[in-house]
């Protein structure tokens, strides 16, 4: 009877995962989806604890203390983190999932090394795969966090021919794993330790050469790795809910990774070894008309107030300036005057998948106003004014007309097709890809320099005065 109840609980938990993931596909229902998935996880944890040997002999106290500590840390981290630091938080959470997989696989391999457990070649393969994927997810995610947070610079950790080194490194790890898996007699604490250290080092080396502009793809990929490591751990313990949850995370992360690569018109292999986002390629961006045209707040306010359609293109600079509330206020003022306001969202804008969607949803901007790349480009043809707030690489025309650019071929928001463009920016510094943007010198473009939040607040005041 107890087994039937536990299996039923696992089924309910799995359904909650699936439905919660489905609700996460829209900002309008994302909160509900997150809660639903959390409830499913809670059901799964309780079911596992009440299962025969679920808590082991006398281990419930340790489990309870761990749950309380983990819940407290997670709750505080999620409440305290700024929206600009959300990609870093996601990276750390991905890494912790990988670390758990490393710990579980390591303990199981340790029992094999001590002669406490006999295992088949297939079981050893699962353990070693779990250790490998978990190790890469752990240290790779930590390095991604450090790069996103500005604590580690790309040029200080990239070696000559680094991508080639990674391929040889991975091949060596696979050969080592095959050697260990050939027979359990090869398993000792020394070989386990060596393999674990090598996987952790490879995780760092794997992420090191990937350029800053590709970090959203990397975060998504590492998320899928953490899911796959959880699924592998589920196979180790024959736990259906770990297996289902891990597969869902791994599959969704993989699909998202592919979609983002498609959005940049690049293959995943090209992202992993191409490293755009590092040094700028030789291009024609620095040639031709280099005149900068600035716009005054009063003139821009009048232009916006009497427009028919305005589009806002948000980028990471918007998140850094915490300017989403000012954007919302400007939106409401213009809408009250009969101006149609839309938002052009590029799939890789920001530092993680969906970063801009989350940012705008935070201030209750309707999801119907958020246009994806293709929709936005169609709307731009009939748009009067485009406000580019903190975005750079996703509106760079070099992606379409400069074969020498490192982002050539990447689909971008064609803001230059609108009647007028205004870029809100602190300075003329390049974006995350490290390349110059010729849009700044375009005949239709004008610059509004300064902090995005302060500029938008001042612009709101000018619009109110109209």
Tokens of 431: 């974006």
User: Does residue 283 lie within any of the structural domains?
Assistant: no
Q: Which percentage of the chain shows pLDDT scores above 90?
A: 44
The last residue of a domain, from among 42, 61, 80: 80
pLDDT score at 285: 47
Q: How confident is the model at residue 282 (pLDDT cuts 50, 70, 90)?
A: very low
5-21 pLDDT, tens digit each? 888 999 999 999 999 98
Q: Which residues are within 8 A (CB) of 231 and not within 5 positions of it... i.e. 6 or more apart?
A: 242, 243, 245, 246, 247, 250
| End-to-end Cα, the chain, rounded Å | 73
In this structure, the answer to whether residues 245 and 314 fall within a common structural domain is: no
Quick one: 306 and 424 in the same domain? yes
Q: Are residues 222 and 357 in the same domain?
A: no
Q: Which domain holds residue 358?
A: 297-464
Of the listed ranges 62-76, 337-351, 393-407, the one predicted with least confidence:
393-407
- pLDDT value at residue 412: 92
> Considering the domain boundaries, does residue 234 fall inside one?
yes
Which is nearest to 228 in space by CA: 321, 315, 126? Answer: 126
Give the residue from 57, 80, 103 where a domain finishes: 80
Would you say residue 284 has pLDDT above 60? no
149, 223: one domain: yes
Asked if 154 and 144 count as a contact pair (C-beta separation under 8 A), the reply is: no
Q: Which of 214, 331, 393, 402 is catalytic?
A: 393
Q: What are phi and psi of 446, to 5 degrees?
A: -135, 150
- The answer to whether residue 289 is domain-embedded is no
Strand partners, 342: 311
Once rounded to an integer, what is the mean pLDDT over residues 338-358?
Answer: 86
**Nearest CA among 385, 376, 369, 377 for reference residue 307:** 385
Q: What is the mean pLDDT of residues 321-331?
A: 93
- pLDDT confidence of residue 364: 87
In a domain, 1, yes or no: yes
pLDDT reported for residue 320:
83
- Cβ–Cβ < 8 Å for 433, 406: yes
State the Cα–Cα distance between residues 45 and 461, nearest whole angstrom. 52
Angle at the Cα of 234 from the Cα atoms of 230 and 236, rounded to 5 degrees: 115
- Beta carbons of 381 and 444 less than 8 angstroms apart: no
Looking at the fold, whether 309 and 426 belong to one and the same domain comes out as: yes
Identify the domain boundary among 80, 105, 131: 80
- 174: in domain: yes
pLDDT band of residue 216 (cuts 50, 70, 90) is: confident
| Cβ–Cβ under 8 Å, residues 441 and 221 | no
Nearest to 233 by CA among 409, 414, 118, 109: 109
At 332 the pLDDT is: 95
Instruction: Give the SS3 label for residue 117.
Output: coil
Average pLDDT, the chain: 86
Write down the pLDDT at residue 13.
Answer: 92
Is there a single domain that holds both residue 258 and residue 127?
yes
Q: How many domains does the chain have?
A: 3
Percent of the chain exceeding pLDDT 70 equals: 92
Residue 395 falls inside a structural domain: yes
Q: Report residue 455's pLDDT band, with 50, 70 and 90 as the boundaries.
A: very high
Q: Select from 209, 207, 227, 229 the least CA-distant residue to 218.
A: 207
264 class by beta-carbon count within 10 Å (0-12 exposed, 13-18 middle, 19+ buried): buried
Pairing verdict, β 309-314 and 340-344: parallel
Residue 215 lies in a domain: yes
Residue 434 falls within a domain, yes or no?
yes
Contact 463, 307 (CB under 8 A): no
CA atoms within 13 A on the CB side of 92: 13
Question: Are 355 and 395 found together in one domain?
Answer: yes
pLDDT at 185: 66
What are the backbone dihedrals phi and psi of residue 351, each rounded to the nearest 5 degrees, phi first? -115, 0
Highest mean pLDDT: which range of 198-202, 204-208, 347-351: 198-202
| 451 is known as an active-site residue | no
Q: How far apart are CA 46 and CA 64, in angstroms?
A: 11
- CA distances to 287, 324, 449 from 429, in Å: 17, 22, 11
Tell me: the pLDDT tens digits for 238-273? Answer: 888 889 999 999 998 888 888 878 777 777 777 666
What tokens appear for 141 in the block? 């995610």
Residue 140 confidence (pLDDT): 93
Can you tell me the distance from the alpha carbon of 217 to that of 202, in angstroms, rounded to the nearest whole number? 18
Reported as a single tens digit per residue, the pLDDT across 128-179 is: 999 999 999 999 999 989 988 878 877 778 888 888 899 999 999 999 999 8
User: Per-residue confidence at 276, pLDDT binned at 50, 70, 90?
Assistant: very low
Cβ atoms 305, 334 nearer than 8 A: yes
Torsion of CA 384, 385, 391, 395, to 10 degrees: 40
Query: How far is 388 from 448, CA to CA, in rounded Å?
Result: 10
**Per-residue confidence (pLDDT) for residue 248, from 0 to 100:** 92
Minimum mean pLDDT among 98-102, 384-388, 397-401: which range? 397-401
Same domain, 267 and 308: no
pLDDT of residue 269: 76
How many degrees, rounded to 5, is the angle at CA 273 between CA 272 and CA 279? 105
Residues 121 and 171 in one domain: yes
Residues 228 and 109 in one domain: yes
Quick check: 281 pLDDT over 50?
no
Residue 376 maps to which CATH number? 3.40.50.1220
Q: Which of 342, 327, 338, 328 is nearest to 466 (CA)?
A: 338
Please state, in angstroms and rounded to a whole number, the distance separating the CA atoms of residues 90 and 177. 29
316 token code pair: 């990471």
Q: What is the pLDDT of residues 111-136, one digit of tens each?
A: 888 877 777 888 888 999 999 999 99
Residue 209 phi/psi, 5-degree rounding, is: -80, -5
Residues 237 and 359 in one domain: no
**Averaged pLDDT, 380-405:** 91
Asked if residue 404 has pLDDT above 50, the reply is yes
Residues 453 and 326 in one domain: yes
Higher pLDDT, 406 or 44: 44
């Amino acid at each position: 009877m107890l087994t039937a109840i536990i299996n039923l609980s696992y089924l309910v938990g799995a359904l909650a995962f699936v439905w919660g993931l489905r609700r996460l596909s829209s900002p309008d229902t994302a909160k509900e989806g997150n809660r639903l998935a959390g409830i499913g996880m809670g059901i799964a944890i309780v079911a596992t604890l009440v299962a025969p040997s679920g808590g082991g002999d006398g281990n419930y106290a340790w489990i309870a203390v761990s749950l309380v500590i983990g819940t407290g840390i997670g709750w505080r981290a999620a409440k305290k983190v700024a929206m600009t630091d959300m990609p870093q938080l996601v990276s750390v959470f991905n890494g912790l999932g990988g670390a758990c997989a490393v710990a579980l696989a390591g303990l199981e391999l340790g029992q094999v090394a001590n002669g406490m457990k006999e295992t088949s070649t297939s079981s050893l393969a699962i353990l070693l795969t779990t250790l490998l994927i978990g190790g890469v997810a752990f240290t790779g995610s930590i390095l991604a966090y450090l790069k996103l947070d500005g604590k580690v610079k790309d040029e200080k950790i990239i070696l000559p021919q680094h991508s080639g080194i990674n391929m040889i490194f991975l091949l060596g790890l696979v050969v080592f794993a095959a050697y260990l898996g050939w027979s359990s007699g090869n398993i000792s604490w020394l070989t386990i330790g060596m393999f674990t250290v090598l996987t952790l080092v490879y995780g760092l080396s794997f992420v090191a050469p990937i350029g800053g502009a590709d970090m959203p793809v990397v975060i998504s990929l590492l998320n899928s790795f953490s899911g796959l490591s959880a699924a592998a751990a589920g196979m180790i313990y024959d736990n259906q809910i770990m297996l289902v949850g891990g597969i869902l995370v791994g599959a969704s992360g993989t699909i998202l990774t592919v979609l983002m690569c498609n959005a940049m018109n690049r293959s995943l292999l090209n992202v992993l070894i191409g490293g755009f986002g590092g040094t700028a390629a030789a291009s024609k961006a620095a040639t031709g008309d280099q005149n900068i045209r600035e716009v005054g707040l009063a003139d821009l306010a009048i232009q916006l107030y009497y427009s028919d359609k305005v589009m806002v293109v948000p980028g990471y600079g918007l998140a850094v300036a915490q300017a989403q509330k000012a954007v919302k206020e400007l939106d409401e003022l213009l809408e009250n005057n009969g101006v149609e306001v839309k938002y052009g969202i590029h799939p890789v804008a920001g530092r993680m998948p969906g970063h801009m969607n989350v940012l705008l949803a935070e201030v209750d901007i309707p999801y119907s106003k958020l246009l994806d790349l293709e929709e936005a480009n169609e709307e731009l043809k009939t748009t009067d004014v485009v406000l580019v707030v903190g975005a750079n690489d996703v509106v760079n025309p070099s992606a379409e007309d400069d074969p020498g650019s490192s982002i050539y071929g990447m689909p971008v928001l064609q803001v230059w097709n609108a009647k007028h463009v205004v870029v809100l920016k602190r300075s003329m510094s390049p974006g995350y890809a490290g390349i110059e943007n010729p849009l700044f010198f375009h005949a239709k473009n004008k610059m509004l320099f300064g902090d995005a939040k302060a500029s938008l607040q001042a612009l709101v005041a000018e619009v109110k005065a109209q």
